[in-house]
Each structure stands twice: as C-alpha cells, then as structure tokens.
Amino acid sequence: MTSTPSTASADTQSNQSEVLATFAANLSFERIPRDVVERTVNLYVDWLGSTLAGKGARPVESIARFARTTGPADGPAEVLIDGSRTSPFFAAMVNGAAAHFVEQDDVHNGSVFHPAAVVFPVALALAQQLGASGEELITAAVAGYEVGIRIGEFLGRSHYKVFHTTGTAGTVAAAATAGRLLKLSPVAMLDAFGSAGTQAAGLWEFLRDAADSKQLHTAMAAANGLMAAQLAADGFKGAKHILEGAKGMAAGMSSDADPARLVDRLGERWATVETSFKYHAACRHTHPAADALLDVIVKNKLKPQEIERVVAHVHQGAIDVLGAVVKPQTVHQAKFNMGTVLAIISYYGYAGVNEFEQHFLADPIVAFRGKVEMVYDVEVDRAYPVRWIGKVSVHLTDGRVLHGRVDEPKGDPGNTLSREEISTKLRQLVKFSGALGEAEVEHLLNDAWRIVSQERVGRVVGHAAVAA
Amino acid sequence: MTSTPSTASADTQSNQSEVLATFAANLSFERIPRDVVERTVNLYVDWLGSTLAGKGARPVESIARFARTTGPADGPAEVLIDGSRTSPFFAAMVNGAAAHFVEQDDVHNGSVFHPAAVVFPVALALAQQLGASGEELITAAVAGYEVGIRIGEFLGRSHYKVFHTTGTAGTVAAAATAGRLLKLSPVAMLDAFGSAGTQAAGLWEFLRDAADSKQLHTAMAAANGLMAAQLAADGFKGAKHILEGAKGMAAGMSSDADPARLVDRLGERWATVETSFKYHAACRHTHPAADALLDVIVKNKLKPQEIERVVAHVHQGAIDVLGAVVKPQTVHQAKFNMGTVLAIISYYGYAGVNEFEQHFLADPIVAFRGKVEMVYDVEVDRAYPVRWIGKVSVHLTDGRVLHGRVDEPKGDPGNTLSREEISTKLRQLVKFSGALGEAEVEHLLNDAWRIVSQERVGRVVGHAAVAA
C-alpha cells in the first residue's frame, strides 16, 4: 500500500480529481440523454423499494434510533421507513442504511459498486430541504452515479478485496450528488471530494461474523458525503488530489489503481445506464450462477432431488467475498452463501426476500447447500468485472452432467427490468416489510414514476400516507 | 495492501481485538496506578487548553456551524468553544475539531497518535450526558489512550506514511472511551470496535494543499467512535477481528502490522503516561530539531543573523509529513514547515501560537526558512518512533559548524510539563483565541485540576461563564 506506481506524485500535477469534480459541478439536465434520464428514474423507483424493504430490520432500526436520539426532532428531510422528518444528514443516514439491507438494491458491474444506496438518500434529502425540482434531483443522482462508478473502477480489484467499494467510493459519490444539488462551483466540488475522500471507509471483515457493518457503510457514506458537500459550501477546504494523489485514496487503499478510469469518456459514456438491477435478493456475486442453474433446471425440467451436486464456475471476487460464509446463521449471511442461493433457486425458482426469510435454514435447503461448490474459472474471471458470466456444471443422480451458462444475468443492462417488473418488485418488497399499505404503495409509485415532472420534490412516504 | 503476512487469517483464530476490547471494558479506576491517574488529569487539562484555543478558527467554526444546523438545538453535552449544548455526537465532533487546530494537543511518540483530541471530547460529552463521576471520566480516558496507542503501534510506519493515525486508530480509541462510560460488556465493546474500525479513515493528502481535513479527522474520529459505542449498546453487531483480521484495518491499511503490539503488557505497561505534551505549537516532527537548535543558540548566545544555514537530521517520517510543505501559505501549514519552525525558534526562542500568527510570513522568517534543510539520519530514524531524537548542524557565517542534540524534547515523558506549566500554557492558549475571560479561566482551571473528586461531571465552560 505504501507505493502505488500508478498513482501520481505531487510533481506530475495530475488533475483527475479536478476534472471529475468539474464534470459533476457542471452537469446539467439538458446534457443528459433522454434514455439516461429514463433509466435513472427506473433506478430511483427501484431504490425506493429497497429502502422501504429495510423497515423493521434490526440494524436499520438501530441506526434509526441513533438518528432520533442524536439528531433534531424535526426537519425538512424524510426518513422513508417511518415517514418521520429530520435534518438531511440523518435522513440520508437512515435511508442509506435501509436501502442496502435486503440486498436488492442496484449494482454497477465494472466498479462492483452499489450506487443507489448512497446516491439517492442524499439526492432526496437535499432536494426536499432545498425545494429542488425532480430534474435537479435526477441530475444530481446522475452526477453521483458517474462519479462513484468511475472511482470504483479506478480503485480496482485490489481495493475491493479488502474494502467495501460502496462505502469508500460511495462517500465521494454522495458528495458529488449533494454538491450538485447545492450548486457548488467546480472548486468547491473539489473541496467536497477532498473531505469525502478522506472520510471514505468500509472493510469486508464484518462479513464472516454476520455483523451489521454493511448498513453502517452505506449509512455513513451517504451522511458523510452529504456533510462534505455542505462543509464545502461553507468554505471548508479539501485536498485537491484526494483520489489519485501520492497520499490519497488509491495510495492508501489500492495496489492496481488506474487514474485514467476516473475521467473515462466523461459526458460521452453514461456509466449510469450500465447499472444492473438486482432480481434476486442475494449478493450479486451469486446471481450469474443462479441464473445459469435456473436455465438448466427449466430447460431440463429438473426436480431438486435429481441434482447430486452443482459446481459454480466463478471469478476470484466471488470466492473472496462469498468464501467467508460457510454455514450462514442469519438471513443476511445466507444471501452471501452460494450454496443457499442455489438451493433456493432449485426449490423455488426465485431467490427473493420471502424465500430467504422462510426457507434459508429449512432441512432441504441446508442439505442442498452442502452439494454446492465454487471453483475458480479463468474465462469468467477474465471477463469480470465488465461482464459477470454465469457458468454451472450440474451433476445429476443418474450420472449425467449438464452445463448451464448465462452471459448477462437478469437485471443487467442487456437483460434489464421493465418498469412493470420494477413496480412489481417494489410492491413485493414493501409487502415484505409492511412499510406501507397497498393503496399507499400505488400512490407512491404513481408519484415516483413522474419524478421528472415535479417542480418541487415533496414528501414521498408522507404524501402517500396522507393520500391513503 | 492486499496481502499482509503478519495479519491473521480466519483460520488462525487470532483474538487480539477481543483481548483489547475486554481490557477496555473491564478497566476500573482502582486498577489504574496513582501516577497514571495524575498524568491523565494533566492530559485532560492540557486538552481543555487546546480545545479552547480552537475558537474562531475557520475550519473549527465551519464544523460547529454544520453541527448547529444538523443537530438538535439543545442537549446534555457542551461545546467548549461557545458553551452551547447539543447531543454527545455533535459535542464530540466540534470539540474534536477544536482540539487539534493549534497543534498543541498531546502526542504519543511510539504510535504517532494524538490521543487527547479524540479521547477527551468523547469522555466529556458522555460523562456530561450520563452524569458520570470524574473517576469514571478518567477511567474511560485511560481506556481510550491505552487502546488507541496500541492500535497506532500495531498499524506501524507503513500506515502512517499515508494515513493520519489519529483519524484511524483514533476512531477505535474514541469507541473504547465511549464504551467504557456506557459500561459495555466485553462482547459489546468488541462490537463497538468493529463498527468504529470499519469507519476508520483519514489520509495525509490534504497537507500539501493546506486543506482543513486534519480538523475533520479528529472531529469524525471522536463522533464516529462515540456512535459505534452507542450502536453497540443498542445491540448493533461489529466484526470480531476488525484490527488484525484478514479483511480488517491492518489488511487494508498497513504492510508492517504487528498484532503482538495490540496486547502488549495490558494492565502492566501504562502507555498513557508515555504521552508527550506539545510545548511548541507546531507539528511534533519539528520539535526535536527545534529543541536541539534552541540548545545550540542558548549555549552559544547566537543571533539569527550569525546563522548561515541549518541542517536538521531527521527520521524518514518527518520527511514524509513535512516534505509536502515547501512554501507555507497559512499558519497551519507553517506549523508543518521545518524552515519556518526553526526560523521562529531562532528569532523568538519559542514557537507558540502567537509567534506563528504574527510572524510566519515576516521577511526575516521567510529568509531564514530558505536556509533550513532536512536530511535523513540513520541513528534518528532507527530510534524512531520510540525515541524522537533531535540533531542539528548549525553552519555559522564565520565558518564554524556547531552541533546540537536533544534526546528527549520538551514535553516528552522524561522532560514533561509541570502542572504550573500546563496551566500557563492553557492561559496563553485561551488568551490567544479569546474563548474566555481571565476570571473564567481561573475558575475553569480550579475545577479541572479537581476533576477526579467530582461526583458528577458538570459543565466546564458554562460553569466558568456563570461564575465569572
């Protein structure tokens, strides 16, 4: 970590941080292509579902209690899981925690970064405070996605091996989102990047212990990013090369950082639309194998009892993240266990929140779990993280071996979810957590799909609750 | 960063984090030797001075404004720079920012960690909220010092090269302090460590740009550590091996971590009393050379005009940190510039807050600055960080070359400050910032020196203000 040849020294006068900050500060709604706006609205609605699904989850409610006892009793920004209001910092914190709990929030493959969980909590909280328009909210969100994705790609695979990129890159993404809504100048946006980057944190160590840190990471990435931008608006200065500098994020937390990725085709390549929706409620690293297995099962009309064992051919990152979980003790941990996910796929054809909640420790699932093995695959690993290929070998009790493959798991850009599928997913998630009644959900959906036409972003849940 | 041989894998069942957390949770006032208690009271009073000195500093006031607009309008914990009250989270944040601004807060040599700035803001805020006794406050502070110092030593020199240890180790130190006041069980204390460690952050990149991140680091280390303990008290789970685990702090942020340091003679070696007071208001890396130069000047009755050039023989860490600042643009940056510090020493015999404020850009100081050079010294570097040896070669205009040396700079444990010197330093610092009137200061000092006898920690500044 102490010497990263690819990061810049003070002498080379690198300016990737500055270029990226300037892009985020200057982004206007008019410059964003129509299809990018539409996809961002889809990502927004998808985020609402994931956030409402977090209601009642122990770690989320714990962070909500902290926010209630530590923050103000009222404010301009809405906490979605209970409709209460507080300052933007705490709304971003609680909504950030909630969005990531059921593991169905979006993910960008190339950066292995979950943008929605850290970008939209900030976009909504500040838009509500400032009375910003839906166009402004979407513009700020796109700024956050474009920035965060590029930082995740820049930090590389060595970073993701130890650090939860959504916590680290996510803090700067949140700052970009907040900075855009606050209309920061390029110079102040760079200050916001500096303060956010020097607070960027999040380690994978918690996963083995089934600890609650994942919710803390998204909560604090959102809150600290927002804080960084608010401080910058007040004149608080940040480092000018926090990303690529000799003592910046990559110098400290990566050994394969590529500064060119930070400014990759800004304004031409819209990384936002490369973001995948999560169809299954599990770690994204399980999805390619899950879809490949499902394909084999459907095509061959297999019953789970006919399957003797399954080999999932995976990239190294999957082994790094999922390898820590052997015998899942909690629902959340089960979502990081390849065996459990493939078992649920075999029995139910879908690994959703209800399937995990009800069955992850059932005898047949536990038995099937033991029949699943992950092995490193050169082709899959080489394609990763740009493409997440799914390959499985299914050994049957009759001796046959069937091979399954998907090149784009369900939810990926080339196999994306329709608006109707996103609405259905949201309805299922809200029903799962009981955050809202059915009529309230329809009202919320109706408002949310028309976010771009809102002249002033109003309440999301409160509105729905009042109307219901 | 991705493979650190000295950190433990999941299989080795390392338990240093657990042992350290258990020590912090079980520490009682009765077990702390009398001289350690007395020194901790000295450190507390010294911290009060540094914190009050932060009043009016732009970055500190900026964080205070953020706290006012984001937090509650009232609460049990006191913000020292203005006597206002808020929740412990925000009091810890603002007091943490304030303590580190004038660069006169304490430092532990071996860990290159500034404990007071992150430990006492948490200890005071929670003690005020809980109505804890002075003995409880001091016990919690010792827990924080012992934990933070050992983590700083554990993370090692490779960590400090890129990371501001006070921000990273400091977050866990703050959690230990808060956890002790909250009377966390050893298991919950370990949870607090996990949540704090996964939020630990702070990069040196800001220094070259004279940015404000140093205040942000201490502010957020204090606030996030406190939050981690409060969450743990509420059942929020953290990683069990956040320090030494295969994807923990050292795995991500160090290449020379030594887990044995984490549990080094717990309860026998009191690292707290190894802490140095800062006599000069500059980066500690400049103090050894400053004292060595002062010694040569005093012994030889030199005038600044007789000095042609000065070579400071330093450890690599001094070059790493101070090397970034060539032409200081701000007072704060000047405190990280060896040339400016030695120039001020030559002209005024003391590098205090007033000397920097009034003279750092004066022509004679700027001219002298250019005559100072740092060179790496094998002996000094080998002794570091356990001993901070000061060595200078002073080349005179008459051709003579004089050599100066100090083995323990003023303020180090073997050359510590008396209570009278600490009181004098506090009076100077408060006068500098104008935080309190003279009568208020005496009242505050009178209370502060008797902290151990307080049955309930009350207001610090408010009391003084009321009594004045």
Reported as a single tens digit per residue, the pLDDT across B445-454 is: 999 999 999 9
The DSSP call for residue B307 is E
- Cβ <8 Å between B163 and A252: yes
Supply the mean pLDDT for chain B.
Answer: 94
Largest CA distance in chain A: 71
In tens, the pLDDT along B195-205 reads 999 999 999 99
- Cβ <8 Å between A211 and B237: yes
| pLDDT given for residue B115 in this prediction | 98
| pLDDT given for residue A464 in this prediction | 52
* pLDDT exceeds 90 at position B10: no
Cis geometry, peptide bond prior to residue B288 (ω within 30 degrees of 0): no
Q: Name beta bridge partners: A275.
A: A108
- In the block, which residue shows the tokens 């593991």? A103
What residues of chain B lie within 8 A of the CB of A217, using their CB? Answer: 198
Q: Which fold has domain B284-410?
A: 60s Ribosomal Protein L30; Chain: A; (3.30.1330)
* pLDDT exceeds 60 at position A467: no
pLDDT category, B463, cuts 50, 70, 90? low
Share of chain B above pLDDT 90, in %: 92
Please state the length of chain A.
468
Q: Is the pTM of this model over 0.95?
A: no
Q: Which of A71, A158, A241 sits opposite B205 (nearest CB)?
A: A241
From CA A207, how far away is CA B398, in angstroms rounded? 67
Instruction: State both tokens at A94.
Output: 């609680």
Signed CA dihedral, B170, A9, A108, B4: sign only: negative
From CA B263, how far away is CA B276, in angstroms rounded? 21
| pLDDT given for residue A287 in this prediction | 95
Q: Name beta bridge partners: A391.
A: A313, A405
Residues A330-355 have a mean pLDDT of 94
DSSP labels, B393-442: EEEETTS-EEEEEESS-TTSGGGPPPHHHHHHHHHHHHHHHT-S-HHHHH
Nearest chain A residue (CA) to B248: A205
Label residues A306-328 b or e (16+ Cβ within 10 Å = b). Answer: ebeebbbbbbebbbbbbbbbeeb
- In the block, which residue shows the tokens 């009755």? B301
Which of B12, B203, B244 is best to mutate for the A interface (most A CBs within 10 A)? Answer: B203
Q: What is the CA radius of gyration of chain B?
A: 21
Nearest to A24, CA basis, from A241, A266, A362:
A266
- In the block, which residue shows the tokens 């930082």? A151
Query: How many residue contacts between A and B have a Cβ separation below 8 Å?
Result: 231
pLDDT category, B366, cuts 50, 70, 90? very high
pLDDT category, B323, cuts 50, 70, 90? confident
From CA B116, how far away is CA B41, in angstroms rounded? 11
- Cβ <8 Å between B62 and A197: no
Neighbours of A398 (CB within 10 A): 7
Strand runs labelled E in B266-389: 275-276, 307-314, 372-376
What residues of chain A lie within 8 A of the CB of B59, using their CB? Answer: 236-237
Neighbours of A103 (CB within 10 A): 25
Question: What would the CATH number be for the domain defined by A10-276?
Answer: 1.10.4100.10
What residues of chain A lie within 8 A of the CB of B198, using their CB? Answer: 167, 201-203, 205-206, 213, 216-217
Residues A30-43 have a mean pLDDT of 98
* pLDDT exceeds 60 at position A126: yes
Neighbours of B303 (CB within 10 A): 9
Cis geometry, peptide bond prior to residue B59 (ω within 30 degrees of 0): no
Q: What is the CA radius of gyration of chain A?
A: 21
Supply the mean pLDDT for chain A.
Answer: 94
| pLDDT given for residue A99 in this prediction | 97
Nearest to A109, CA basis, from A149, A169, A154, A159:
A149
* pLDDT exceeds 90 at position A1: no
**Looking at CA atoms only, how far is residue B196 from chain A in angstroms?**
10
| pLDDT given for residue B164 in this prediction | 98
| pLDDT given for residue A314 in this prediction | 97
Neighbours of B376 (CB within 10 A): 12
In tens, the pLDDT along B379-399 reads 999 999 889 999 999 999 999
**Looking at CA atoms only, how far is residue A408 from chain B in angstroms?**
29
Nearest to B170, CA basis, from B94, B116, B99:
B116
**Looking at CA atoms only, how far is residue A386 from chain B in angstroms?**
21
Q: What are phi and psi of B401, to 5 degrees?
A: -125, 120
From CA A106, how far away is CA A412, in angstroms rounded? 10
Task: Looking at B131-185, list the stretches that DSSP marks H as alpha helix, in order from N- to C-terminal side.
Answer: 134-162, 165-181
- How far lies A430's CA from each of A105, A148, A301, A356, A425, in Å? 13, 27, 32, 16, 9
Q: Which of B201, B205, B238 sits opposite A239 (nearest CB)?
A: B205
| pLDDT given for residue B326 in this prediction | 85
Which of B12, B17, B18, B70 is best to mutate for the A interface (most A CBs within 10 A)? Answer: B70
pLDDT category, B257, cuts 50, 70, 90? very high
Which of A58, A204, A206, A329 is best to mutate for the B interface (most B CBs within 10 A)? Answer: A206
- Cβ <8 Å between A212 and B72: no
* pLDDT exceeds 80 at position A9: no
Q: Where are the domains of chain B?
A: 10-276, 284-410
- Cβ <8 Å between B220 and A199: yes
- Cβ <8 Å between A251 and B65: no
In tens, the pLDDT along A241-256 reads 999 999 999 999 999 9
pLDDT category, B7, cuts 50, 70, 90? very low
Contact B440, B468 (CB under 8 A): yes
| pLDDT given for residue A43 in this prediction | 98
In tens, the pLDDT along A213-231 reads 999 999 999 999 999 999 9
Contact A293, A349 (CB under 8 A): no
- Cβ <8 Å between B58 and A235: yes
In tens, the pLDDT along A92-125 reads 999 999 999 998 999 999 999 999 999 999 999 9
Which of A203, A204, A220, A255 is best to mutate for the B interface (most B CBs within 10 A)? Answer: A203
For helices B134-162 and B34-53, give the axis angle rounded to 10 degrees: 70
- Pair type for strands A85-86 and A77-78: antiparallel
* pLDDT exceeds 50 at position B275: yes
**Looking at CA atoms only, how far is residue A158 from chain B in angstroms?**
6
pLDDT category, A463, cuts 50, 70, 90? low
Q: Which of B200, B213, B237 sits opposite A195 (nearest CB)?
A: B213
Which of A205, A227, A234, A325 is best to mutate for the B interface (most B CBs within 10 A)? Answer: A205
Nearest to B274, CA basis, from B412, B99, B417:
B412
Contact B308, B183 (CB under 8 A): no
- Cβ <8 Å between B205 and A324: no
From CA A110, how far away is CA A112, in angstroms rounded? 6
In tens, the pLDDT along A257-288 reads 999 999 999 999 999 999 999 999 999 999 99
- Cβ <8 Å between B239 and A59: no
